């Protein structure tokens, strides 16, 4: 555990608020980076490294306490089908380097770097992988983050148990702290809240599975702002650690994000006030939201 991580956790336990950055891949897209049909934003690290660095810098300049490595789509589960098997290591190490360089250039060593891991597959083929392949890919990502000396592992868009549980077991063997972000949806206002990818699996079930691993923080991400509060209530029934909320806004039409109806920074801030009142102490943004949203959230500290 790094000193900067211990310091932020102390702030949280003392009633303070930690600000997570907002969407990295979608901000890269807004800055003109092409999203790959199969690997989404994964190639940016090797194709436009300086743009990736400056994107992280924008979030640090906006006041984020934690920035997220652009590694959501860079596990072997995504990169192998995309024909990037030989670049898995280089892409991931460049992703980590970009976040570290941004922190260095901003001169703010207190900023934490979170290594993102998802259980995403190729964005085009969606070809299912064996349990063995998933475990190997997750273990590899953990090894990259340990070697790159990130401050924590951030599990993102957790919602598919067959891949989620092997990932939970993989990160639990790491010495790095883990924050777990689950994603949810609800078909109608009165319907059951389910996992984002599979409406036959309740969010409550996914929360119960995640809670057995006793992660440092757990919460709801890549989920509509109007569903966050109800989903956080479910998290609170099982999790006693730090609570996290970072919604998306707009929608995905592969491989691009559609920035239609994106909430304003002030609208996000209004929702966040309510989440704070519920005990949420880590707040940020996901896809569709940018540095301007981060800046609005910082004013809540």
Kindly report the CATH number assigned to the domain that includes residue 51. 3.20.20.330
Tally of domains in the chain: 1
Neighbours of 130 (CB within 10 A): 8
How do strand 242-246 and strand 217-221 relate by DSSP bridges?
parallel
Q: Look at residues 122, 110, 102 and name the one whose alpha carbon lies nearest to residue 49.
A: 102
Q: What pLDDT sits at residue 125? A: 73
Q: 217, 244 in Cβ contact below 8 A?
A: yes
- Chain Cα centroid distance, residue 15: 23
Q: Look at residues 268, 277, 275, 230 and name the one whose alpha carbon lies nearest to residue 250.
A: 268
| Helix 131-148 / helix 161-172 crossing angle, nearest 10 deg | 40
Can you give the residue range of the structural domain that contains 289? 3-298
Q: What is the pLDDT along the chain (301 residues), one digit of tens a residue?
A: 899 999 999 999 999 999 999 999 999 999 999 999 999 999 999 999 999 999 999 999 999 999 999 999 999 999 999 999 999 999 999 999 999 999 999 999 999 999 999 999 988 777 788 889 999 999 999 999 999 999 999 999 999 999 999 999 999 999 999 999 999 999 888 899 999 998 899 999 999 999 999 999 999 999 999 999 999 999 999 999 999 999 999 999 989 999 999 999 999 999 999 999 999 999 999 999 999 999 999 999 9
For the chain, the farthest-separated pair of C-alpha atoms sits apart, in whole angstroms, at 48
Q: 290, 248 in Cβ contact below 8 A?
A: no
Distance, in Å, from the CA atom of 25 to the CA atom of 68, rounded to the nearest integer, reads 10
Distance, in Å, from the CA atom of 125 to the CA atom of 193, rounded to the nearest integer, reads 27
């Amino acid at each position: 555990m790094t000193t900067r991580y211990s310091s932020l956790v102390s702030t949280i336990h003392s009633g303070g608020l930690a600000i997570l950055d907002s969407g990295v891949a979608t901000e890269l897209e807004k800055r003109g980076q092409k999203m790959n049909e199969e690997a989404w934003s994964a190639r940016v690290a090797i194709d436009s490294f300086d743009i990736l660095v400056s994107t992280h810098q924008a979030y640090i300049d906006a006041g984020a306490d934690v920035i997220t490595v652009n590694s959501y789509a860079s596990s072997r589960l995504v990169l192998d089908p995309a024909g990037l098997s030989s670049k898995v290591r280089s892409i991931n190490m460049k992703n980590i380097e970009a976040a570290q360089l941004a922190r260095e250039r901003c001169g703010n060593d207190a900023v934490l770097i979170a290594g993102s891991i998802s259980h995403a597959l190729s964005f085009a083929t969606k070809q299912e992988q064996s349990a063995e392949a998933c475990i190997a890919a997750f273990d590899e990502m953990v090894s990259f983050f340990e070697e790159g000396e990130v401050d924590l592992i951030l599990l993102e868009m957790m919602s598919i148990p067959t891949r989620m549980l092997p990932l939970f077991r993989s990160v639990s063997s790491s010495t790095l702290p883990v924050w777990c972000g689950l994603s949810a949806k609800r078909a109608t206002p009165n319907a059951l809240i389910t996992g984002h990818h599979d409406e036959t699996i309740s969010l409550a079930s996914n929360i119960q599975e995640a809670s057995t691993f006793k992660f440092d923080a757990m919460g709801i991400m890549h989920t509509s702002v109007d569903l966050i509060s109800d989903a956080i209530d479910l998290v609170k029934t099982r999790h006693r650690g730090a609570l996290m909320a970072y919604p998306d806004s707009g929608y995905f039409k592969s491989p691009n994000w559609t920035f239609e109806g994106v909430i304003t920074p002030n609208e996000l801030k209004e929702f966040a006030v309510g989440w704070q009142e519920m005990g949420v102490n880590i707040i940020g943004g996901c896809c569709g939201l940018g540095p301007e949203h981060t800046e609005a959230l910082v004013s809540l500290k």
